[in-house]
Amino acid sequence: MRGVTGPQVRYDGGVPRRPDDAPNQPSESAAADVTLRWAGKDAPFRPRGEGPLELREIAGDPGAAQGRLVWADNALALAALRAEIGATVDLVYIDPPFDVGASHYLRSDDVEVEAYRDAWGGAGYLSMLYPRLVLLRALMKPGATIVVHVGVGVCHRVRVLMDELFGADSFVNQIAWKRYSAHNDAGQGARRLGAVHDVLLVYGRGPARAWTTLRVPHDPAYVAKWYRHVEPQTGRRFMSGPLTAPGGAAKGNPRYEFLGVKRHWRYGQATMEELLRVGRVYQSRPGAVPRQKHYLDELEGVPLQDVWTDIRALQGTHAERLGYDTQKPEALLERIVQMCSRPGDLVLDAFAGSGTTAAVAARCGRRWIAVDRSPQACAVIRRRLRGLIARGEAGGFSVLDGGPAARRAALRERGEAALVERALRLHGAESWPRGQIAGRRGAAAVVVAVGEARPGAAEVARWLDAARAAGMAALEVLAWEFHPSAHDAADGGAASLWELPRALADDEDAAPRRLPCPSVALRGEVVELVDFVSEAGQGVASVVEWAIDWAWDGRVFAPRWWTQRGRDGALTGASPPLPAEAGEVLVEAVDAAGRIGQRLVRYRK
């Protein structure tokens, strides 16, 4: 996914556009009088590919499913969801790139893999974000709320976009989230103030939107100053307030003696005696004017304001840390979800990253949709939600794939021959057409399968025979996806399997990558993970999770047993005994880089 670069951004007066379904549809409203102009804004926009999304996996109990993980470019996914579910979303939270000109990574032990690039360049960034905000708006029901999490470098432009698309009158809050206590920029010669906060832009669609006023504890300095007394009998901290009545007799306040002090009092004598009886009266010494006790533990708290300083960014020592560079703390998302939605509501995150929104929504009893195009992000999210299911903290979820729709569009728009030629070039192979053989690389014949069929063992064996007949010693097969039986035709390494990158369907250059290969053994009724070969390394030590579906239907993976590596580094290497009804057993293993390998085991008891 690339932005469109262009000249400087321009702020214009005039009639804004607030479209429902397409960036080029003019708005009927003129609620705002400022719009943002940039090169590329008026260019026609269509997502790369059209739905429907393909069901890839069902995790947990389908009857208790409350979430959807969508592996796709979010423009494609949002357009497909709009066609399927309409305007049904209650809360949108997105944490898009900040246009900082850098890459962000998934890190685990010695493995570091790029999760996404954040290098759009001004106008290109807006050309990426604008149509996606349009699609998000079309998914929001009347009364929905959207929260856009951005950096200080782009928040001013994004707020103008939000005013244009949602209406300036829909603005709710601009929240400053203080992530860090300080940056040591000054010590490094920076001629500016340290940037320690992000910005959350909150917009609502109508007065019926969900809203819960949250409260936070009082500032410790306030507590120390005012709640300085401690009750010896209970240890409860309290402050004292006046029981005397200003205005005296002129205000009709009673005057009498209480605890040896004659004054005008706020309450009648019976009420004062009751306060004394229940321990609500404080007298610092005999003869001092009595005062009323107000306990700290009964203090309701301060209504949440628009500067949040009590939630810190995640550090490496935090237990919830998953190694994803831009992961947000669950406490931040829990506050947003609790404040802006109700139990049972539908929460959508179109830049899902490490899946914090999905995890929090699931634990808070909300339905959720999480969208990300990065395979590393989707692997992290899936593992995170599987863990919640295993601990009984979430219901099931489905995994939907937008890859087939993007590939169909690529074939339709560019043609098979052009895609094959480009794949050969990116693979470092030369064109060498021989029937189904498209090229060669060194001593290996190269077959490029750009159709929707997933090559399996039979196809790989047939192509290997064709390669040998053409005088080549080896075969390399390039395909979008493979049937899990394809590894069975490797013939001692004579055939190798390579995944065509999903980015190729999005017209981006990326080289094919060797398909990870798990090795498994069936020992009686137990499946053992014996080996795993991927770019991240070889051996079971490189695996972070694996699962089996012992009744695979040939299409949708439904893990019936799953395990992941614990924080102590241990990984269970053998499955429980397979049930008597087990048939084709699909084994799936994932390494620290998010690469997935599958293997098929045929079992009949």
User: Which residue bears the tokens 């390394």?
Assistant: 537
Q: How confident is the model at residue 302 (pLDDT cuts 50, 70, 90)?
A: confident
Q: How many CB atoms lie within 10 A of CB 57?
A: 19
pLDDT tens per residue, range 433-449: 999 999 999 999 999 99
CB atoms within 10 A of CB 451: 14
Residue 3 has pLDDT above 50, yes or no: no
* Owner of token pair 């599958």: 598
Residue 261: DSSP 8-state: E
Percentage, residues of the chain above pLDDT 70? 92
pLDDT at residue 196 above 50? yes
Q: What Rg do the C-alpha atoms of the chain give, in angstroms? A: 31
- Listed in sequence order, the residues at least 6 apart from 93 whose beta carbon sits closer than 8 Å to its beta carbon are 146, 147, 149, 333, 336, 337, 347, 348, 349, 357
Selected residue with higher pLDDT from 505 and 370? 370
pLDDT confidence tier of residue 426, bands split at 50, 70 and 90: very high
Instruction: Name the nearest CA neighbour of 361 among 374, 381, 378, 343.
Output: 343
Residue 189 in tokens? 């010669």
Most confident of 24-28, 99-103, 384-388, 537-541: 384-388
Q: What is the pLDDT of residue 27?
A: 43
Band (pLDDT 50/70/90 cuts) for residue 109 is low
Q: Which tokens hold the place of 341?
A: 């939605």
Determine the pLDDT at residue 317: 78
pLDDT greater than 60 at residue 1: no
* More confident of the two residues 261 and 218: 261
Task: Give pLDDT, residue 21.
Answer: 46
Residue 52: asked if its preceding bond is cis (omega within 30°), the reply is: yes
User: So what's the pLDDT on residue 50?
Assistant: 82
pLDDT value, residue 20: 47
Q: What is the pLDDT of residue 188?
A: 64
Residue of 176, 173, 177, 159 lying closest to 213 (CA atoms): 173
Q: Is the separation of the CB atoms in 281 and 290 below 8 Å?
A: yes
Whether the CB-CB separation of 458 and 573 falls below 8 Å is answered with no
Residue 373's contacts (CB-CB under 8 Å, 6 or more residues apart) are 1, 71, 72, 73, 74, 502
DSSP, collapsed to helix, strand or coil, labels residue 599 as: strand
Residue 124's Cα: distance from chain center in Å?
23
Provide the angle, in degrees to the nearest 10, between the axes of the packed helices 403-414 and 74-85. Answer: 110
**According to the model, what pLDDT value does residue 526 have?**
94
Per-residue confidence band for 424, with pLDDT thresholds at 50, 70 and 90:
very high
* 141 DSSP assignment: E
Which carries the bigger pLDDT value, residue 604 or residue 325? 325
Q: What is the mean pLDDT of residues 495-509?
A: 92
Tokens read off for 372: 């990300």
Distance of CA 525 to the CA centre of its chain: 38
Q: Residue 399 pairs with which residues in a beta bridge?
A: 57, 69
Question: What's the mean per-residue pLDDT of the chain?
Answer: 89
What beta strand segments (E) does 119-213 contain?
Answer: 140-150, 171-178, 197-204
Q: How many residues does the chain have?
A: 605
- Token digits for 323? 């190694």
Residue in 588, 593, 596 with CA at minimum distance from that of residue 520: 588
Question: Quick one: angle between helices 375-390 and 356-363, nearest 10?
Answer: 20
Q: Residue 99 pLDDT more than 90? A: no
What is the pLDDT averaged over residues 82-100?
94
- Within 8 A by CB and 6+ apart from 541, the residues are none
DSSP per-residue codes, 268-322: -HHHHHHHHHTT-EE-SSTTSPPEEEEEGGG---EEP-SEE-S-PPP-TT-TT--
Cα distance between residue 81 and residue 50, in whole Å:
10
Residue with tokens 């301060």: 302
* pTM: predicted TM-score of the whole model, two decimal places: 0.85
pLDDT at 469 over 80: yes
Q: Has residue 32 got a pLDDT over 80? A: no
- Average pLDDT of the segment spanning 19-33: 45
Cα–Cα distance between 150 and 74 in angstroms, integer? 17
User: Given 3-state DSSP classes, what are the helix, strand and coil percentages for the chain, each rounded to the nearest 5?
Assistant: 25, 30, 45
Range in 98-107, 131-140, 190-199, 585-594 with the lowest mean pLDDT: 98-107
Q: Read off the pLDDT of each residue in 507-530 and give the average, rounded to a whole number.
A: 93
pLDDT of residue 127: 93
What is the average per-residue pLDDT within 539-545? 92
**Per-residue pLDDT, 366:** 97
Give the strand pairing for 367-372 and 346-349.
parallel
Q: Please list, in sequence order, all residues whose beta carbon lies within 8 angstroms of the beta carbon of residue 346, skipping any fewer than 6 positions away.
A: 88, 89, 90, 91, 366, 367, 368, 369
Give the bridge partners for 11, in sequence order.
Answer: 36
Do residues 424 and 93 make contact, with C-beta atoms less than 8 angstroms apart?
no
- Alpha-carbon gap, residue 541 to 570, rounded angstroms: 9
* Closest to 258 (Cα-Cα) out of 292, 290, 293, 285: 290
- Which tops the pLDDT comparison, 560 or 13? 560
Q: Quickly count: other Cβ atoms within 10 Å of residue 415's Cβ.
A: 12
Q: pLDDT band for position 274 (50/70/90)?
A: very high
pLDDT value of residue 519? 94
- Give CA 243 to chain center in angstroms: 54
- The DSSP-derived string for 191-250 is SS----EEEEEEEESSTTS-----EEPPPHHHHHHH--EE-TTT--EEEEEE-B-TTGGG
What distance in Å separates the CA atoms of residue 141 and residue 173, rounded to the nearest whole number? 20
